Structure 1
């Protein structure tokens, strides 16, 4: 069940998807939330679920109590770090408030699932007993180095250019401006870099204006809904940048690694756990990211691409499926 502009009920390759009307969240680049508790309650009652898995810690936390009242096991998947979100508001925001919310969340659900140790830390320090860590996975057949497209590369860069990629929503918490600063620092040091930006969001107009004012070679591609084009892009660039400081896993970064492309990530986030030695973690702003890019480029291309793919192969989707089924206490019928 997901929020949308309207209402629908359809069967897809991934199962049944029920869309309920939900308002847009201001300044979040198209995100919607389910606020109509009455509609959601009646839909769930009609579905009579065996188990409930909830992925919105802000507006849907009440569903834990809903499930417990009806004897339905519930699981909250923590896709956001409350610690990280509070940190964005500055040092004056009390961690105690976040701890109180997290403690209540854990008490109201049968299971809390986090995808990395970094994400689980805010629950672990509270002594939460119903906490489980299950990493996500990547489609290793869809995202592969074989998708590399030389014609795509020549369309956006010269033969000797270093082609960089920022792939993600252009919103404040993702810190996309760090990617522009990385490009500027690289070019100032003599590296002929070009940056591709795949994704939309509220900061796009400001970023485009800044890139134009500074004369930076940035190509804004918008949101890429074509999966074939996205997978080719990830396999074609030299290095990707994932500068968000509060990412709890970084599925886009993992898809990039599976495509044979190394990634520079924020040292403040969970991504260093995911990329391992196949990428580099940077702290601070653009200059540190530029140094990390140069370090990756100093490795022979076949070596760095092979390392990226090998790291991604540690996260197959079947492992993630088995982990989530175990968290739901559902027997795994097929070997994983």
Structure 2
């Protein structure tokens, strides 16, 4: 209730990206030594929620998706708030500022977001240094890697490999992002004939670190099946379904308002139905329970987390719900999962 009042009265009036930076500053404070143990006392997930996957134990199946903490600066705070894992990034081999602002917008009527951030981050080397320090803290961290904007699509393989070599030694898993709509040409890498050599090369660079691939919700069903089969054939450790959508079909926000925002990917409830469909297709294609499927897209409640698990997800991620539910979102989901 307090967060709802704060959101309606203050945060909603701020530029969306500015509000995110203020929120991240508060999260970092919660993860600092004096406050972290106090916060953890109220947010620690119940032991019954633990999930063994990708060679590690996740305190809860519910984690924070890539895009929220691009530079691995809020990992301790997010863990303190009750998230079972943090997927940092998207990280690129070459630091980059991303697209011009404004580039992040609230779709309040849909409880969603529209973003065209463009992989703004400080680079893989900086992220690797931070993750190396975090290894002593026990947080489960995945590293989501993407193509540097200045690198041609034809040279993407070497660019991904460069990031993987820096991040795989200090991450619990690596996720190859070929599905963001905000980097020109990136989604073309999802074509199986292009994706196979890319994943083979990144797989070799990761060594023993688990590797997953993240796909778009906008793929037709036959391509979802083809990529799922490819991931299994290459003995990848899993798949993340899904990224944001370029579709505007399910939005209730006024179309003129959405058009004024411009291009970008939509997250939150508008992608939920398709995300669930893709999860179902992936799990039907690769039923092996050792193949980790992370479901993300439109998840906001404990019932939705449970539904994804029932549909075959190993783990579930959220992002947009944090904006509308507030800092103790993960705590509420974890407690509701235990009760039910």
Give the TM interval when normalised to the shorter protein: 0.3 to 0.5
TM-score by length of 1: 0.36
Instruction: Compare relative contact order (CA 8 Å, sep 6+) and give the higher one, 1 or 2.
Output: 2
TM-score by length of 2: 0.36
